[in-house]
Structure 1
Amino acid sequence: MSEFADATEALGRSLRLEKAARRGSDWYLRYLAVFAAAQLVLVPAVLLGHDTWVMPAALGLYVVAVAGLSVYATRQRSVRRRFGVRHTVTVAVWGLLYAATLALGFTAFPDSAGFTAVAAVVCSVPLAVGAWLERRQGA
């Protein structure tokens, strides 16, 4: 009977540990949500503020945001399996879309408010999808 009790106790510890890990990895959802929201402000600032002090300030805010989010990420205690792959793909897709929208915005659509609005949403989509997938996996 003690073997059964030991096995039950070990299983209970395992389930509590898994639950704590799931709760502890919700940080990535918040990370991506903040980064996605930042795109809605910073992309228009970069694209429309290129002739003023706004663009350098927006780029500085990007540096501060990425540094802050990176410090936040390194202080977290748990990550899900295959986190590195998911994060790499999410940030790579965002980076490609960001570079493409900046290139198009500065060359083909300079000072276009319509393009800028679409570009901001496009740049936030991979981050929002990553947050949605993280939420779905955590449920």
Structure 2
Amino acid sequence: MAQLDPTEALAQAQRLGARTQRSARWLARYYVIFGIASMLIALGFGLLRGRTWALVLSGVWLVLVLGISLYSSRQQTMVRGGGRIHAGVMAAWTVIWVITVTVGASNDLPWPWWLAGGVGMLASPLVGAWVVLRRTEAAQ
């Protein structure tokens, strides 16, 4: 094995680190897709009433979650602090989802309620995407 010049070894390590950081941007895409889908599904529940529509929308949601879960499982890098970011995003999203669904369904609220809840559900993933992009921007 040939020995590397220490300067070249450091440069190579920095290039690999930057490439790894850039490849962790997949998480921002994941959050944007998840957030937009959450908003659209919530709005769908507000606009489309009845058991049949509830089953259709739930099926669409299940397919989407399975799809983005498969996408995320195939990624090989994670942004620094990615576990904490993800926990925070999902905790905030879950609180907003529970409020939206519990209040909206139990009071049979109209579509503006569901749209507002969907926008709330979109907000936490967008904040997560922003944090991920901020942490990976140094790799440009």
Question: Shared fold by TM > 0.5?
Answer: yes
Q: Quick one: which amino acid aligns to residue 131 of structure 2?
A: L
Report which stretch shifted further, 80-89 or 121-130.
80-89
Distance 2:98 2:47 in 1: 15
Partner of 2:114: 116
Partner of 2:37: 38
Report which stretch shifted further, 111-120 or 10-19.
111-120
Give the CA deviation at 1:49.
2.8
Query: Map of 1:1-139 to 2, 5 A cutoff?
Result: 6-108=5-107, 110-139=108-137
> Aligned pair count?
135
**TM-score (norm: length of structure 2):** 0.88
Deviation per CA, 1:58-107, whole angstroms, max 9, x where unpaired?
11111111111111011011112221121112112101110111001012
Gaps of 5+ in 2: none
Give the CA deviation at 1:113.
2.1
The percentage of aligned residue pairs carrying the same residue is 26
Q: Quick one: which amino acid aligns to residue 70 of structure 2?
A: V
Q: Quick one: which amino acid aligns to residue 55 of structure 1?
A: A
Secondary structure of 2:78's counterpart equals coil
Give the root-mean-square deviation of aligned CA atoms.
1.6
Distance 1:43 1:122 in 2: 10
Answer whether contact 2:28 2:132 (CA < 8 A) is retained: yes
Give the CA deviation at 1:111.
4.0
Gaps of 5+ in 1: none
